[in-house]
Amino acid sequence: MYRLHSVWVRMDQPSLGVPSRDVLLVSAIITVSLSVTIVLCGICQWCQRKLGKRYKNSLETVGTPDSSRGRSEKKTIKLPSGGKMVNTAPMPGQTQHDESDRKTEPRSSVSDLVNSLTSEMLMLSPGSEDDEGHDSSSRENLGRIQFSVGYNFQESTLTVKIMKAQELPAKDFSGTSDPFVKIYLLPDKKNKLETKVKRKNLNPHWNETFLFEGFPYEKVVQRVLYLQVLDYDRFSRNDPIGEVSIPLNKLDLTQMQTFWKELKPCSDGSGSRGELLLSLCYNPSGNSIVVNIIKARNLKAMDIGGTSDPYVKVWLMYKDKRVEKKKTVVMKRCLNPVFNESFIFDIPTEKLRETTIIITVMDKDRLSRNDVIGKIYLSWKSGPGEVKHWKDMIAHPRQAVAQWHQLKA
């Protein structure tokens, strides 16, 4: 509010047409006051925009022995075209044309925090993805595989050599995997060849060569080379890790070519089970780890109605033995549940390297056995993302480190 001062002009004095000094002074004061008000309003709006962006950002930031599994060193399968597939030992005279083994570091960003987080100090893992990069965060690192392909025109033979894989995710309770590779020439799914199983190895070397003999070139270029990496399980179904497919008509088969390919989630849907946001807090003086199950998103629907009744089980493992189990409440008919439940596990420091925390998202079912939606293995020996979260927890004691994880089969 500005007070306007009235100016009284003596009527007995003749007006000369020139404003008095008082009138000029009042006009100047009013002009300056209005100018200052306009400037202040502009600055205030600018500050609000800046502070609004800053507040919004603060919310967003808040090897091993081989196992042949009973398979012989060589195997032959008759193909519909009259050819045959042979698995041979590594060719001694064949040289490997390896590409550079440079690993591309994942782009770092800050994970999105939920609005309902407690006032507990929460530090985000530098390598976790944010919500704005949801598409990139859902692309979990499944590792990569190296192989070579070539065709011998004189012998009408297609040669496929499976060399090695790197940074495979852990699928077993022990924080490792037992990988092997299945080889198909699609659309033929009946005939397949398999490599040997590499026990407890996330960076296996196979160096196995497979020959598709008597296979005319005009039929070869109509096929798609399909490689599927799986984790061997003796007592249950093998767990798919990832896959690679490449049409042979897009390759120069006149000579052996070597490729590095990133593994993609298997097309049977095993890779789309959803994600879970959780935090880990390590207290070295108290010899304990606090696991906070925060929320999940895009969970796989397990019920007929196109939804699920999810809850989370947390197992503490030591040297492949189950020590303690805890679980959250069941969230009815929800594919994006918010849990915000914390569990404390007593873990002596000397046992930390042999400890694994297994987190399983389940679908509650009244009439039948509960279904497993997906799992996460946290330890020193898990997949790259899990190991990073574990190391960040150790490097920042007494601070909760949060990270999104892709659920695995």
Is residue 278 within 8 A of residue 294, CB to CB? The reply is: yes
Among all chains, which residue has been given the structure tokens 């699609």?
Answer: 186
| Residue 267: predicted pLDDT | 66
- Name the nearest CA neighbour of 271 among 170, 408, 165, 128: 408
- Write down the pLDDT at residue 306: 80
- Give the integer Cα–Cα distance in Å for 193 and 226: 11
May I ask the CATH architecture of the domain 274-407?
A: Sandwich (2.60)
> In which element (H, E) is residue 53 found?
helix 21-61
Backbone angles phi, psi at 170, to 5 degrees: -80, 135
The tens place of each residue's pLDDT in the chain, 409 residues long, gives: 444 444 444 444 444 455 567 767 777 788 777 777 776 666 555 554 444 444 333 333 333 334 444 343 444 444 544 455 666 654 444 444 444 333 333 333 333 433 333 334 444 443 343 333 333 344 568 899 999 999 999 999 999 999 999 999 887 767 788 999 999 998 887 788 999 999 999 999 999 999 998 889 999 999 999 999 998 877 666 778 899 999 999 999 988 999 999 998 876 544 468 899 999 999 999 999 999 999 999 898 887 778 899 999 999 998 878 899 999 999 999 999 999 999 999 998 888 888 999 999 999 988 778 888 989 999 887 777 888 999 999 999 999 999 999 888 7
Q: Cα 263 to the chain's mean position, in Å?
A: 13
Question: What stretch(es) of the chain map to CATH 2.60.40.150?
Answer: 144-262, 274-407
Report the side by side order of strands in the sheet with 355-363.
321-327, 310-318, 355-363, 371-378
Closest listed residue to residue 143, CA positions, set 111, 197, 194, 181: 181
Q: How would you classify the pairing of strands 144-152 and 157-166?
A: antiparallel
Residues 6+ apart with CB under 8 A from 277: 111, 114, 294, 295, 296, 297, 402, 403, 404, 405
Question: What is the assigned CATH class of domain 144-262?
Answer: mainly beta
Predicted confidence at residue 302, as pLDDT, reads 81
* Cα–Cα distance for residue pair 5/200, rounded to 1 Å: 90
Question: What's the rounded Cα separation, in Å, for the pair 315 and 326?
Answer: 7
Distance, CA of 96 to chain centre: 31
The model's pTM: 0.44
Three state DSSP letters for 112-139: CCCCCCCCCCEEECCCCCCCCCHHHHCC
Q: What 3-state DSSP class applies to 218?
A: helix
Edge-to-edge strand list for the sheet holding 122-124: 122-124, 400-406, 275-283, 288-297, 338-346
H or E, element range at 343: strand 338-346
